[in-house]
Amino acid sequence: MAETVSVGGHLSVVQRVRLADGRDVVVKMREPQERLVACTAAQRHLWLAGFPCPEPLAGPHPLGPYAANAEAAVEPDGVQPVLDAGAFAGLLAELIRLGPEAQAVPTLEPPPPWAWWRHDAGAVWPPPDNRDAGLNAHPETAWLDDLGTRIRRRLHDAVRGLEPAKKASLDGLDRLDRAEAAERSRRAGLR
């Protein structure tokens, strides 16, 4: 490594470094979790399929108390931020279309809290991962708790009746046929 270009992060430490050969690389260091292997495998699959994401270069590998990944730094080159819901939906559809089959990657468990709708914490919201008190500790968010409760109920209703193997793997949408998931979501009013 020739120099550190920038450092940042929230739930992980992110460093942009310039290698001796002039390439810029982003190194991400975070709490080690088994799902990071699957995330990297999925990202590599998407990158190889042409999805607009950084190329994974290495990792995850142990680095002190962290797991570290390296990926090619991507320059925005005039790319404008996506602010339109339709554009987000289109990009999500492309990600799902190009994504690997669940059997092709290791486990995605445990899901990160912001995607853990089937948690068993005994409250509306999963435990936070980046602060002492989560959404469950805020009484002024009653409207949000009501919304979260209704959404979780709809999600649970949407998966009721699935085969046990599909139900057990739904947290990462792994092993669930994408067409079947879309149809069940449509029938449950989620699309």
Per-residue pLDDT tens over the stretch 127-172? 777 667 777 777 777 788 888 888 888 887 777 766 554 444 444 4
CATH code 3.30.200.20 region(s) in the chain = 3-72
Coil/strand/helix, residue 146: helix
DSSP H helical segments within the chain, as ranges?
35-48, 85-98, 142-159, 164-168, 178-187
pLDDT of residue 10: 67
Which region holds residue 176: left if phi is over 0, alpha if psi is between -120 and 50, else beta? beta
Coil/strand/helix, residue 161: coil
Residues of the chain with pLDDT under 50: 165-191
Residues in the chain: 191
Specify the fold of 3-72: Phosphorylase Kinase; domain 1 (3.30.200)
pLDDT of residue 28: 93
Q: Amino acid identity, residue 158?
A: A
Task: Please answer whether residues 106 and 41 qualify as being in contact, where contact means their C-beta atoms are separated by less than 8 angstroms.
Answer: yes
Per residue in 84-114, is it b (16+ CB within 10 Å) or e — as a string?
A: eeeeeeeeeeeeeeebbebeebeebeeeebe
Task: Please answer whether residues 31 and 19 qualify as being in contact, where contact means their C-beta atoms are separated by less than 8 angstroms.
Answer: no
